[in-house]
Chain A
């Protein structure tokens, strides 16, 4: 079956530091890949997505590239802010199937200190 593995957290960084959160996946075929973010006390928000190999998703300074050869979708940001403190979830789904269940990683908590 499908699975998503994320690096364990928490990740603690100082403001303006470079961020990488690793995500690797196991899936058949060609899944679509997502990063969702959950701010404290809130629901999940879509951060970015990529639907085919070598696609780069980007939003709010975050980027991730769909690497089929390494089955990875690592999240990066060049300069984090305190407001980026949240839990980040990597996820995948097959958009061409009926169930379209998102398979999530366990989440990585990011703490950014001023």
Chain B
């Protein structure tokens, strides 16, 4: 089954404790991206990647890091999480000129 998977689905952590949210796709897509969803704001792009070892900032990259060492994986790293990063996070992937498909989401709470 073609899909985008994220782990964990739910995470509660404390300020300053480094965490990683994984994203994996099995469709051999070149393009991958991370979004955060906040009430009343819709979804905003954090980072994106056009292919392996090619990443760039989206609209709200502060406080986040990403890496793209393999085509299928695109982890989101929060080196020192803060409460304002409490949000619902979505990973998406697509072929370069195609529609983006989304993972199930990761709900993160930073205390």
Cross-chain contact B99 with A89 (CB below 8 angstroms): no
Give the B interface residue count (CB, 8 A): 25
Interface string of A37-67 (1 = CB under 8 A from B): 0000011111001000000000000000000
Contact B104 A95 (CB under 8 A): no
Q: Cα distance A62–B99 when bound, in Å?
A: 18
Interface size on A, residues (CB 8 A): 23
Q: Is the pair A45, B41 in contact by a Cβ cutoff of 8 Å? A: no
Closest 6 CB pairs of A and B: A104-B42, A101-B45, A44-B102, A43-B104, A104-B43, A106-B42
> Would you list 21 pairs from A and B whose C-beta atoms are within 8 A, ordered by A residue?
A4-B42, A42-B104, A43-B102, A44-B43, A44-B90, A44-B102, A46-B99, A46-B101, A91-B42, A93-B100, A99-B45, A100-B33, A100-B94, A101-B48, A102-B35, A102-B43, A102-B92, A102-B100, A106-B40, A106-B42, A107-B42
Q: Which residues of A contact B (CB under 8 A)?
A: 4, 34, 36, 42-46, 49, 89, 91, 93, 95-96, 98-102, 104-107
